[in-house]
Structure 1
Amino acid sequence: MSQGPGKPAESAIPHEGADSSPHGRIIFLNGTSSSGKSSIAKELLLALDEPYLHLPVDAFHAMRSRNELSPEELPVVLHRTWRGFHRAVAGMAAGGNNVVVDHVLSEPWRLLDCLEVLRPRDVVLVGVHCPLQELERREIRRGDRPVGLAARQGEQVHAHGLYDIECDTATADAEECARRIRDFLPRRPLPTAFEQLRAKLRPELPAAG
């Protein structure tokens, strides 16, 4: 029996539970607030040949209801949001989707959690740097972030000290950074930064590709 117009053949639709796609790649942009991660992510979506989804953590925080939280509740809710965000990224990649993530590894547990739930071979860890003076200038210009937030985050964000590729948004604009990342992908060496960090920081976890 022929299919109706515009209706895909059944054989073209993966059946429920089928592992029809390989895991997607995760381009993981890590840097302080106002370092330029979101701008690079937007340029990556234009520069990359394959389809990618941009999953910013700010979008997950924006989904939360606007109920006022007490000082005791807020850290708990934020922690749960970050944990859920990490697992949402892992789930999208597991479904075969390529993902661009912008992140702030300003608390040690965030990196440890990501090392557990993300497939380390799939992650391209990008360090997004910017001098403090420029960060403060951007904070003042933006007006939607507390001045000094980036400075408070700065010491911890890059403390793990290992990346696949790094860029400085004070010396290269977002478009140039995106091009550098795109051109790096085909020649990315192994083991990845995430594989090395997982072996070092989470040795209790089994090695994973």
Structure 2
Amino acid sequence: MTKQLTTQNATITTAAVEVKTLTISGKQVTLAVFRQLEDKTILNPLDATLVGEPWGRVNYHPDKCADWPEHLHVVWQVGSELRRAHVVTPAEAAHKHLYAGLYAEALIADGLNPSHSRAKGPQSTRIQVVGGATDDGIGWARFNYQDVRFHGPVRNEFLRAYHGRQGRLSSEELWSRIRHVAGPDATAESIASRLPAFAYKESWQQLKDLPQLFIAV
């Protein structure tokens, strides 16, 4: 019977050639045991910091994700339990964040529409707004800010304004909805500054610098 991998029976050992292996009760962890670890993000969605202690990287793609953008598979600890996570390179991260959606909405309130190939903000960034303008629709915006790709929700009233649909709200009305969430003095620039771009890059580098852990095939 395959033993369950926990922080009590799992250890990291170093072979003579400095190859680090992940073991359970003295035996090298197998792919089957590694797959049993819960796949849970190690990044805090609010500020992109690490929410647990990373143990190391594993060069194995259990979810058939070898063709995905560059990413890392990490074994990490939360409390007394082990988890596994995959973290995507900053440029392709699509990190979901409330202020990513608010930033896109601010650009729409300032006049962004499908005819613009580039958005104006703290820096020129390509932005893609996806979604229609149905009565109960919600869309998404994707863009890179300070070399990190973000992903956030866009509300229906902003989709209507973006697509120039009938009944669209004025810029002042849109900004009123944004500032209800982001504060009375919010601007596109101040909203963008709340995106955790630096923290994401710092967390990525910290994980990339981890030792590689070898597991048995």
Max Rg structure: 2
Same fold by TM-score greater than 0.5: no
Question: Scaled by the length of structure 1, what TM-score is found?
Answer: 0.28
More strand by share: 2
More helix by share: 1
Question: Scaled by the length of structure 2, what TM-score is found?
Answer: 0.27
Compare relative contact order (CA 8 Å, sep 6+) and give the higher one, 1 or 2: 1
